[in-house]
């Protein structure tokens, strides 16, 4: 393109020199009509030079627009990578929270099973405790009746001694059983506390999972909006078709208090009550 411009200028210059020579020669002969030809030729040369300058200006404008487009693309790609990283991080946190919730749910189920087993064991021990007390009461009553008799022969004396030993053994068993019941009650209270902590952890994980899912949706909408901005910028450049914006609703993350409950987890927690004896 530059070589053609030089050639054009040389041709114009040579034509001008020829015209100058002709005008000088004709002027010597008294001819003045070449003045109009000179003006016309000079005007044509200026117009051709103006066209060349306009072509250079268009190239510079196109180069500026292309540079601007590249900068916009780089900025959009950087922002997109940033949002994609945030999106990936939120998805990983959501997956970790889901796994933690499942573990908490399994722990809660295991604790519930252990509590039920302990309660059955305590019920059995309570029945045994009541049976021992009834037997102790009967033996004590029988022993009191025998002691009230004035005359005690050999067999009666032997029976009294046996009852005294039986009563002493029953008291010892009852005392040991009372200690076992108290120990089981403490263990049950600890298991109930762990169970309630597991349920609280599950509820907290549900809230966290819901917040992370809404944040993921928000980041996806933000990513699509960035893509729309780039498409809109490209469409405003010469030679591109019209742009039709898309709407991407964003969830509101402020004051989010929703709780995600998976299928089957919507039933209320049973009330656990422990009564010490």
Is 267 domain-assigned?
A: no
Describe the chain by its helix, strand, coil percentages, rounded to 5.
80, 0, 20
pLDDT greater than 50 at residue 121: yes
Within a domain: 1: no
pTM of the model: 0.43
Closest CA to 166 of 135, 192, 190: 135
CA distance 177 to 207: 45
pLDDT value at residue 256: 41
- Report the number of distinct structural domains present in the chain: 1
Does residue 270 sit within a domain? Answer: no
Residues contacting residue 218 through CB under 8 Å, at least 6 positions apart: 250, 251, 253
Please report how the helices 34-148 and 2-29 are oriented relative to each other, as an axis angle in degrees rounded to 10: 160
Tell me which residue range forms the domain holding 207: 33-235
CA distance 203 to 254: 19
What is the CATH classification number for the domain harbouring 150? 1.10.287
Q: What is the mean pLDDT of residues 34-45?
A: 49
Inside any domain, residue 259: no
Residue 141 and residue 132: Cα distance in Å, rounded? 14
89 located within any domain: yes
Q: What distance in Å separates the CA atoms of residue 167 and residue 131, rounded to the nearest whole number?
A: 13
Q: Which two tokens stand for residue 152?
A: 């005690």
pLDDT for res 206: 82
Interval 228-271: pLDDT, tens: 777 776 677 655 554 445 544 444 444 444 433 344 444 344 33
């Amino acid at each position: 393109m530059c070589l053609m411009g030089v050639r054009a200028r040389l041709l114009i210059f040579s034509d001008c020199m020829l015209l100058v020579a002709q005008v000088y020669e004709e002027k010597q002969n008294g001819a003045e009509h070449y003045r109009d030809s000179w003006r016309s030729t000079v005007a044509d040369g200026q117009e051709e030079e103006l066209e060349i300058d306009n072509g250079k200006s268009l190239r510079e404008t196109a180069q500026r627009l292309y540079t601007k487009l590249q900068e916009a693309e780089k900025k959009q790609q950087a922002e997109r990578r940033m949002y994609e990283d945030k999106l990936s991080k939120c998805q990983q946190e959501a997956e970790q929270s889901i796994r933690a919730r499942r573990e908490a749910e399994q722990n809660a189920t295991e604790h519930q099973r252990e509590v039920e087993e302990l309660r059955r064991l305590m019920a059995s021990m309570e029945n045994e405790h009541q049976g021992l007390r009834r037997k102790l009461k009967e033996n004590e009553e029988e022993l009191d009746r025998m002691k009230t008799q004035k005359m005690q022969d050999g067999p009666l004396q032997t029976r009294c001694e046996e009852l005294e030993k039986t009563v002493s053994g029953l008291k010892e068993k009852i005392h040991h059983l009372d200690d076992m019941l108290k120990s089981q009650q403490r263990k049950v209270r600890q298991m109930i506390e762990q169970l309630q902590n597991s349920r609280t952890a599950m509820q907290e994980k549900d809230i966290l999972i819901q917040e992370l899912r809404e944040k993921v949706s928000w980041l996806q909408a933000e990513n699509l909006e960035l893509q729309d901005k780039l498409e809109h910028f490209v469409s405003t450049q010469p030679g591109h078709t019209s742009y039709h914006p898309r709407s991407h609703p964003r969830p509101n993350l402020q004051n989010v208090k929703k709780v995600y409950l998976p299928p089957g987890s919507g039933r209320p927690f049973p009330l656990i009550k422990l009564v010490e004896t």
